[in-house]
């Protein structure tokens, strides 16, 4: 039998090799090895005995990446196509001589979308998310923090970066043979996300002033919402796409503060949909400003 090492790509035979994992840790109890796995394209954490692992070549990574990239590209194009142009800008395009409702000329107005602080337990996923935020022109700060440490650092990070939107994510999953979905101890990292949300709400209690997305694959959705998250995963305990938190943040960041967005409208901008993402009515974070500085072109 092949000797598996940390960093190897594998699938699980017992699940028909449906998910590609990377080995992130190896535990040994009385000489029996158990492998801790992190999803390569979905935010799930799992474990498996050695005999259940199937080694995978790097070409399998390319196969999974192609589908991941296709889904992401389609959603990015959809968002950019549907993103609302501010009313004054639309008027300016029709006639630069027309004025906005407040009496200002369209070219004198500037915009300020919401700012995101994204705390992620997986550095590879964080970098993919940051690239996507930039494609969508979202102002973002990203910090890689292991899931169990997120409750310890979130307060200070909020104080340092003062975001409009906070993301707390990484990897999660229901522990094998745990059937009580209401018990936080049945999940690998949900309890850490819940505690981090509570700490964030100590910093800012208002769901309008600080918008929070929390969770990963199969996370305890109800506990996260109860703790104070505006949006969370996973209502049906399914796998979620790694970029869904980004798409949720974009929708909130580019919706006017005059508007309250329905959960259906926000979830429509995700790949996973209502099985994996849910939440509450949430006020947008996009602001228009006046006047635009004439000193900066």
- CATH code for the domain of 60: 2.30.30.390
Is residue 98 scored above 60 in pLDDT? no
**Structural domain contains residue 235:** yes
At 95, is the pLDDT very low, low, confident or very high (cuts 50, 70, 90)?
very low
Q: Is 294 inside a domain boundary?
A: no
Q: Does residue 134 share a domain with residue 210?
A: yes
Do 259 and 116 lie in a common domain? yes
Could you tell me which residue, 100 or 28, shows the higher pLDDT?
A: 28
Residues 49-56: what's their mean pLDDT?
93
Residue 275 sits in a domain whose CATH number is 3.40.50.280
Q: What integer is the mean pLDDT of 183-206? A: 97
For the record, the structure tokens of 232 come out as: 């969370």
Q: What is the mean pLDDT of the chain?
A: 89
296 lies in a domain?
Answer: no
Same structural domain, 61 and 151: no
Give how far Cα 269 sits from Cα of 45, 132, 243, Å.
25, 14, 11
Percent of all residues in the chain with a pLDDT value above 70, rounded to a whole number: 91
Q: Give the C-alpha separation, 229 to 239, whole Å.
A: 19
Q: Same domain for 51 and 109?
A: no
* Same-domain check for residues 109 and 14: no
pLDDT in tens, 113-138: 999 999 999 999 999 999 999 999 99
Domain boundary among the residues 57, 75, 93 is at 75
Q: How many domains does the chain have?
A: 2
Domain assignment of residue 71, given as a range: 1-75
Say whether both 47 and 180 belong to one domain.
no
134/196 same-domain check: yes
Report pLDDT for 105: 56
Dist CA 219 CA 184 (whole Å): 9
Q: Tell me, what's the pLDDT at 1?
A: 59
Shared-domain flag, residues 143 and 268? yes
What is the reported pLDDT for 67? 81
105: exposed, middle or buried (Cβ count in 10 Å: 0-12, 13-18, 19+): middle
Bigger pLDDT: 103 vs 8: 8
**pLDDT at residue 96 tops 50:** no
pLDDT surpassing 70 at residue 104: no
Nearest to 244 by CA among 130, 166, 129: 129
Residues sharing a CB contact under 8 Å with residue 73, sequence separation 6 or more, in sequence order? none
Q: What is the pLDDT of residue 66?
A: 84
User: Are 234 and 152 contained in the same domain?
Assistant: yes
- Report how far residue 147's alpha carbon sits from residue 93's, in angstroms, rounded to the nearest whole number: 47
How high is the pLDDT of residue 94? 36
């Amino acid at each position: 039998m092949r000797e598996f090492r940390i960093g190897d790509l594998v699938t699980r035979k017992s699940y028909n090799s449906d998910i590609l994992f990377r080995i992130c840790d190896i535990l040994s109890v009385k000489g029996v090895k158990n492998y801790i796995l992190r999803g390569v394209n979905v935010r799930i954490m799992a474990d498996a005995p050695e005999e259940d692992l199937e080694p995978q070549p790097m070409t399998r990574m390319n196969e999974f990446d192609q589908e991941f990239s296709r889904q992401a590209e389609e959603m990015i194009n959809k968002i950019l196509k549907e993103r609302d142009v501010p009313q004054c800008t639309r008027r300016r395009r029709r006639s630069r001589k027309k004025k906005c409702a407040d009496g200002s000329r369209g070219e004198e107005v500037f915009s300020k979308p919401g700012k995101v602080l994204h705390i992620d337990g997986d550095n590879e996923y964080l970098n993919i998310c940051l690239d996507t935020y930039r494609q969508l022109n979202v102002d973002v700060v990203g910090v890689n923090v292991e899931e169990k440490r997120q409750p310890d650092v979130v307060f200070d990070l909020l104080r340092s970066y003062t975001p409009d939107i906070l993301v707390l994510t990484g990897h999660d999953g229901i522990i094998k043979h745990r059937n009580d979905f209401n018990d936080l101890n049945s999940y690998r990292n949900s309890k850490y996300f819940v505690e981090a949300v509570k700490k964030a709400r100590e910093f800012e209690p208002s769901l309008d002033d600080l918008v929070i997305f929390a969770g990963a694959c199969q996370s305890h959705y109800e506990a996260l919402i109860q703790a104070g998250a505006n949006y969370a995963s996973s209502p049906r305990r399914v796998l979620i796409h790694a970029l869904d938190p980004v798409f949720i943040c974009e929708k909130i960041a580019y919706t006017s503060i005059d508007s309250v967005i329905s959960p259906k409208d926000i979830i429509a901008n995700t790949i996973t949909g209502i099985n994996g993402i849910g939440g509450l009515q949430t006020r947008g974070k996009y602001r228009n400003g006046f006047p635009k500085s004439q000193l900066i072109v």
